[in-house]
A and B are shown apart, each in its own frame.
Chain A
């Protein structure tokens, strides 16, 4: 059973819209949830992260909404730009191990 699932393989939005990427997880012990952005030919780069004690984390145009009871979270990208076009990975870990379990990724395309 996949431990971290992303509901969409791909998502297309228009420039200026809010992109919403969804993620769910199985292991209720996970307590750290980073989102990574990956461009072709590059390694994943941390975009924003949330700990399970919080239900919302905001950083500029990026916001994570977290629902511990439902074991799901979402990444909202406000005012999407063509430069946001990339693959976004939801990940989860236990703080004491550092080992990240990744979802399959969502390829976001922002059309101008």
Chain B
């Protein structure tokens, strides 16, 4: 079936450094999402993105976070600077529209030390 690819699968980074998480969404999908899952806890919405713009973001989407998808390439989540509490698994997802199936990647496990 359709796949969302996330690169890398694991990332360890020093607190205060910048990190970019990459996502290759399902081709021809138009809506893109980032979710955050802390180990053993629920999946929490961070942001959704459509037509080059952020549509909605949650209170977890701090000022240090940004997203973009330049020219149909990777959909990225950048955190600058990182903080210890940013350690989590970040899932990228995409869909063809609202109320349609949302496909998730396998996640990037981010560890901030």
Q: Which residues of A contact B35 (CB under 8 A)?
A: 100
Q: Which residues of B contact A94 (CB under 8 A)?
A: 98-99
Contact of B98 among A42, A46, A97 (CB under 8 A): A97
Q: Which residues of A contact B105 (CB under 8 A)?
A: 43
Q: Chain A at the B interface: mostly helix, strand, loop or mixed?
A: loop
Contacts of A41-100 to chain B: CB distance below 8 A: 41-46, 49, 51, 89, 93-100
Q: Is B102 an interface residue (CB 8 A)?
A: yes
Given contacts A43-B104, A93-B99, contact A98 B91 (CB under 8 A): no
Q: Which residues of A contact B98 (CB under 8 A)?
A: 93-98
Beta-carbon contact of B45 and A100 below 8 Å: yes
Beta-carbon contact of B106 and A42 below 8 Å: yes
Give the size of the chain A interface in residues (CB under 8 angstroms).
Answer: 26
Q: Which residues of B contact A89 (CB under 8 A)?
A: 42-43
Q: Which residues of A contact B43 (CB under 8 A)?
A: 44, 89, 100, 102, 105
Q: Is B107 an interface residue (CB 8 A)?
A: yes
Beta-carbon contact of A31 and B106 below 8 Å: no
Q: Is B76 an interface residue (CB 8 A)?
A: no
Contact of B104 among A45, A99, A103 (CB under 8 A): A45
Beta-carbon contact of B48 and A99 below 8 Å: yes
Beta-carbon contact of A46 and B101 below 8 Å: yes
A sample of 6 more A-B contacts (CB under 8 A), given A43-B107, A93-B99, is: A36-B104, A43-B105, A98-B99, A98-B100, A102-B42, A105-B42
20 residue pairs A–B, Cβ–Cβ below 8 Å:
A32-B99, A42-B106, A42-B107, A43-B91, A43-B104, A43-B105, A51-B99, A89-B42, A94-B99, A95-B99, A96-B99, A97-B48, A97-B55, A98-B31, A98-B33, A98-B95, A99-B56, A100-B35, A100-B102, A101-B45
